[in-house]
Structure 1
């Protein structure tokens, strides 16, 4: 198993280094390569533009695709983000790579969170309709009942702190352990 994680600053590990990122923490725990292709400030369009170079070229068995936060901050239409995510999934499948969609964590700007919520709904619907595995990072950052964000997991209004990255790693770890045991 070899995994590429493509995304934005939340994949990269901002405001820290990639050593603190959830993918690196999973790598240390499972001992499987997780190549961090998170780029600070990137959008789903940017991820799509670099997908062939950053993912396909690495020949992974799996790719974790997680984006949308910067799109929401820029007010990008949900249809455009849906198209970008679905095109990355298609590229993965065409190249024999198993896609996994990462459901983005909450954003603590209410206007941007409303937009990001639309993206999440689209990602979940797309994943379920197409039998694509998903990692639900969002739910791990919500209090029981799903009405309040766990603010103690944030370094700022968008990015996890070190504890937040550990929570993300635990969620990814649980899913990837299942993938390993399933063969």
Structure 2
């Protein structure tokens, strides 16, 4: 089985070595080929623009879609991310792919991430992120899709799981990998 992981820096594994990234660890343990197509700083608009070339043209068996935080950070809203996720889920299903929507880890305040030059109110964004992740779980348009919930069974209050409050440390990636492994074992 071949799965493409499409997303932003949380998919890419910002500032973590390749062998420590969640998808690499999960691939080694499950035997499922997981191709990382995460792009740091990307929004769901960017993901939607990349999906044909990086996912559909690659002819995988499935796709994990994880994005939306940058939409919230930069656009101060999650509604566009929600619509883009529905569009990508529908397109992926129409292309015969098994679709998994990933619910990303929460951000851990205070955030110490300083790159990008954009003023982001991380405290306000954290509230919008919670609303967005709840929508990912509950929206009827996504109810037919199995959610890969990276919040389930992981204690994200442990600051050692983060590099900067947004991006996961190697220990955080191991936790995410364990979640992927159990997710695919449960079928």
If the length of structure 2 is used for normalisation, what is the TM-score? 0.86
Q: Distance in 1 between matches of 2:67 and 2:173?
A: 16
Q: Which residue of the partner structure matches residue 122 of structure 1?
A: 135
Structure 1 residues 75 and 170, CA gap change in structure 2 (3 angstroms): same
Q: CA deviation at 1:160?
A: 0.5
Q: Distance in 2 between matches of 1:9 and 1:114?
A: 20
User: 1:75-115 deviations in whole A, cap 9, x for unaligned?
Assistant: 34222111000111001100000110100111133221111
Q: Distance in 2 between matches of 1:97 and 1:64?
A: 10
With 38-47 and 125-134 compared, the bigger mean Cα shift is at 125-134
Q: Which residue of the partner structure matches residue 164 of structure 2?
A: 156
Structure 1 unaligned blocks of 5 or more: 144-148
1:137 aligns to 2:147 (yes or no) = no
Q: Distance in 2 between matches of 1:58 and 1:65?
A: 15
If the length of structure 1 is used for normalisation, what is the TM-score? 0.88
User: 1:28-82 deviations in whole A, cap 9, x for unaligned?
Assistant: 1112210000111111111111011111111111111001121121134222111
Q: Distance in 1 between matches of 2:46 and 2:6?
A: 10
* One of 157, 163, 184 as aligned partner of 1:176: 184
Larger helix fraction of residues: 1
Q: Which residue of the partner structure matches residue 146 of structure 1?
A: none
With 115-124 and 127-136 compared, the bigger mean Cα shift is at 127-136
Query: Aligned to 1:135, what secondary structure does the other structure show?
Result: strand
Q: Distance in 2 between matches of 1:69 and 1:176?
A: 25
Runs of 4+ in 1 over 6 A off after TM superposition: none
1:80 aligns to 2:93 (yes or no) = no
Q: Distance in 1 between matches of 2:42 and 2:49?
A: 11
Structure 2 unaligned blocks of 5 or more: 109-121
